[in-house]
Amino acid sequence: MENMENVLMQKYEFGKMLGQGNFAKVYHARNLISGENIAVKVIDKEKVLKVGLIDQTKREISVMGMVKHPNIIQLYEVMATKTKIYFAMEYAKGGELFDKVAKGRLKEDVARKYFQQLICAVDFCHSRGVYHRDLKPENLLLDEYGNLKVTDFGLSVHASCTHLDGLLHTTCGTPAYVAPEVISRRGYDGAKSDIWSCGVVLFVLLTGQLPFKDSNIMQLYKKISKAEYKCPSSLPPDVRKLLKRILDPNPVTRISMNKIMENSWFNEGFDAKQMKNSLETDPPSCHADVIVKPLFDPKKPDFNKVSSFNAFDIISLSTGFDLSGLFVENDQKDEVKFTSLKPASDIISKMEQIATGLKMEIGKNKGGLLKFKKVCESGNTSLFIDVEIFEITTGFHMVEVKKSGGDAFEYRKILKNDIKPALGDIVFAWHGE
């Protein structure tokens, strides 16, 4: 292993590397005390700090500590040195489910077994208020007995992170597996979006191919938004009906977890009582509680730090790739974007100045996110506006202004008559204009 002792913390002996990503590598290891085979995820702390993924790393640790389930990879211990962060985790000897699917579609009963275990794991996450947000075969592992294990909670989030409208607003995941409402950037229910991804996984297991695919990203998103896919005639009618209810582009009418678990095709060969007993009687592990040692040195918060961009945000920068038009008319949007060449501190100062002039309450500025509240003249409701600043490159920012709660008409009136005119030379260009 490069720049690393063969034994970590005098406890874990490292073996071969199992896989790697941009910020982390995963190794097979052995617990020298218990003799147990484990996996150790090694994260480059400097890279995580550099790209602003500290909070995401902490959230992954927190979430994994909440979801102890037979079909979820368990996190045993978290350690850190000056340069690395180490996750000691359950080892899945069978590798990725993706490798099995890459060889072709699975038999119906095998696909059903994996789908049952996936639904049980995700339903358990939801019962703990956790939404995975990146479910796909690459993030589903198999143990030595062929049991499915959900892994990679790097994009997961807790229900407490929802906005005032009760929805999540961060667009993330893998394009071919994300739900239409996630792409629309208008807020989404984390549970319903996970259900959609489970449906895509089921389709892949049964057919060996994706339901939505296109080399053109816009065409792909259009197919997803309309749920345009073709089921092979070889699939049984009851499977096709279930897929249709899961891959429903309307999250309101999309089938729920409870209804999936009541479905006759799903229940074939499924022992719900045995699953419940395994949760209640699972022998306590020697890693009963996740041990977390300090990861980062405490630093004074930087209130001018702004959010980082992901692939979805960069795609949406181009007017040609603005996907919101697929879901809402231009003059009815509850959010607008503009780019600016000004420093983040100038943008924040200007927005607070505008809010003060409008007699709005100013919330805390946290990581480039400003929150404003205005009590409407009727006195019955309040208007909530979020302003989030993203750094694209040094000295070039994109700012998103959106209504997070309250009357849409009042928001559009203030935006048109007060906010836009007052921004003046802060704006380099309005997105879409």
Tokens 């809010």 sit on residue: 355
CB 199 within 8 A of CB 177: no
DSSP letters for 329-394: -GGG-SEEEEEE-S-HHHHHHHHHHHHHHTT-EE---BTTEEEEEEE-TTSS-EEEEEEEEEEEET
Give the whole-angstrom CA distance, residue 178 versus residue 190: 11
Q: What count of other Cβ atoms lies within 10 Å of the Cβ of residue 165?
A: 15
Partners of 137 in the β-ladder: none
**Amino acid identity, residue 328?**
V
Q: Where are the beta strands (DSSP E) in 110-229?
A: 130-131, 140-142, 148-150, 157-158
Return the closest-CA partner of residue 399 out of 322, 309, 326, 295.
Answer: 309
58 to 5, 172, 328, 365: CA distances (angstroms): 25, 18, 35, 20
DSSP 8-state symbol, 295: -
Show the CA angle centred on residue 214, arms to residues 211 and 219, nearest 5°: 105
Give the whole-angstrom CA distance, residue 364 versus residue 353: 14
SS3 302: coil
CB 226 within 8 A of CB 212: no
Give the whole-angstrom CA distance, residue 408 versus residue 331: 11
CB 261 within 8 A of CB 119: yes
- What's the half-sphere exposure (Cβ side, CA atoms, 13 Å) at 420? 16
Q: Is 100 annotated as a binding residue?
A: no
Pairing label, strands 84-90, 369-375 = unpaired
CB 97 within 8 A of CB 140: yes
Partners of 148 in the β-ladder: 142
Pairing label, strands 12-20, 24-31 = antiparallel
Q: What region does 368 belong to: left with phi over 0, alpha with psi -120 to 50, or beta? A: left
Q: Which residues are catalytic?
A: 134
Angle, helices 190-207 vs 237-246, to 10°: value is: 150
Binding residues: 41
Binding residues for ATP: 41
